């Protein structure tokens, strides 16, 4: 027998599917929503539906956008010979907030994690390789979290990009090991951008399996 009426159980179940939301938190969120007035709940529902209907992904950088290309890719004032590779849309916003970077972006959609079943085919690695071959940027900045997954992804990408003889850099070590880019303060991230250094290609024995072409 359900603990709550079925509509509440359904709401708790759906909220519990969000990242970082456990059963108790989902329960609190559900009752917080129920305490809102009908107009407020309708606005929230509309915002959720509209985000799915009105947003798509930029065909260039893979950021969410209402128009293709997105505002960043379409901006003629951006430095088009720089590509900053980030894992998520939140990381892009974090780099933008520094005001230090004026180039373009590429969103991978995550980092490699064999334990979680995330392989290069689950990320936009092919798009990045194709884009780098076509645009021949002066520099590709790998701005990924300094975690095990982030480090292994950067090593993997640097090896894939090395035949193109491009300058591939990574953020400076101002970011603590194990930290997440999206939660770094603007000063730390600015210092990391300014102190970025060139990536050395990993030995073949240390890199993951090559992506299928």
Compute the radius of gyration of the chain from its Cα atoms.
20
Residues 49, 91 within the same domain: no
Residues 13, 105 within the same domain: no
pLDDT top residue among 48 and 203: 48
Mean residue pLDDT of the chain comes to 89
Whether 153 has a pLDDT exceeding 70, the answer reads yes
Whether 206 has a pLDDT exceeding 50, the answer reads no
Report the predicted TM-score, pTM, of the whole model to 2 decimal places: 0.76
User: What pLDDT band is residue 211 in, cutting at 50, 70 and 90?
Assistant: low
Per-residue model confidence (pLDDT) at position 180:
76
Per-residue model confidence (pLDDT) at position 192:
77
Tally the domains of the chain: 2
Angle between helices 23-34 and 6-15 (to 10 degrees): 120
User: Does residue 1 lie within any of the structural domains?
Assistant: no
Residues 48, 86 within the same domain: no
User: What pLDDT band is residue 198 in, cutting at 50, 70 and 90?
Assistant: confident
Alpha carbons 128 and 100: distance in angstroms, whole number = 23
Q: List the CATH number of the domain containing 28.
A: 1.10.8.420
DSSP state at residue 123? T
- Comparing 60-64, 100-104, 208-212, the range with the smallest average pLDDT is 208-212
For the segment 35-84, what is each residue's pLDDT rounded down to a tens digit?
999 999 999 999 999 999 999 999 999 999 999 999 999 999 999 999 99
Alpha carbons 196 and 98: distance in angstroms, whole number = 14
pLDDT top residue among 206 and 2: 2
| Residues ≥6 apart with Cβ < 8 Å to 102 | 77, 78, 79, 82
Per-residue model confidence (pLDDT) at position 176:
64
Alpha carbons 205 and 210: distance in angstroms, whole number = 11
**Residues 110 and 117 sit within 8 Å (Cβ to Cβ):** no
Please give the residue range of the domain that contains residue 10: 6-54
135 to 35, 124, 132, 138, 157: CA distances (angstroms):
52, 16, 5, 9, 17
Phi, psi of 69 (to 5 degrees): -75, 170
Residues 82, 47 within the same domain: no
Closest CA to 80 of 138, 130, 125: 138
User: Does residue 10 lie within any of the structural domains?
Assistant: yes
User: Environment class of residue 2 by beta-carbon count within 10 Å: exposed (0-12), middle (13-18) or buried (19+)?
Assistant: exposed
Whether 207 has a pLDDT exceeding 50, the answer reads no
Residues 39, 14 within the same domain: yes
Q: What percent of the chain has pLDDT over 90?
A: 74
Whether 169 has a pLDDT exceeding 60, the answer reads yes
User: Does residue 96 lie within any of the structural domains?
Assistant: yes
For the segment 116-152, what is each residue's pLDDT rounded down to a tens digit?
999 999 999 999 999 999 999 999 999 998 888 998 9
Across residues 156-170, what is the average pLDDT? 94
Per-residue model confidence (pLDDT) at position 189:
80
């Amino acid at each position: 027998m359900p603990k709550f009426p079925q509509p509440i159980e359904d709401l708790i179940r759906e909220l519990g599917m969000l990242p970082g939301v456990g059963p108790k938190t989902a329960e609190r969120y559900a009752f917080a929503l129920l305490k809102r007035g009908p107009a407020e709940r309708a606005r929230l529902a509309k915002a959720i539906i509209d985000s799915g209907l009105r947003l798509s992904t930029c065909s260039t950088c893979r950021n969410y956008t209402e128009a293709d290309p997105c505002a960043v890719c379409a901006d003629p004032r951006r430095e088009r010979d720089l590509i900053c590779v980030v894992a998520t849309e939140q990381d892009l916003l974090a780099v933008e907030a520094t005001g230090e970077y004026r180039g373009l972006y590429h969103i991978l959609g995550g980092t490699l994690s064999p334990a979680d079943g995330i392989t290069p085919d689950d990320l936009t690695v092919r798009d990045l390789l194709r884009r780098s071959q076509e645009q021949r940027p002066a520099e590709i900045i790998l701005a990924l979290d300094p975690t095990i997954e982030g480090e292994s992804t950067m090593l993997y990408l640097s090896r894939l990009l090395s035949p193109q003889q491009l300058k591939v850099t990574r953020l400076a070590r101002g970011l603590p090991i194990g930290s997440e880019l999206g939660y770094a303060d603007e000063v730390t991230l600015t210092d990391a951008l300014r102190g970025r250094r060139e990536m050395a290609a990993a030995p073949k024995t240390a890199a993951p399996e090559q992506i299928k072409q």
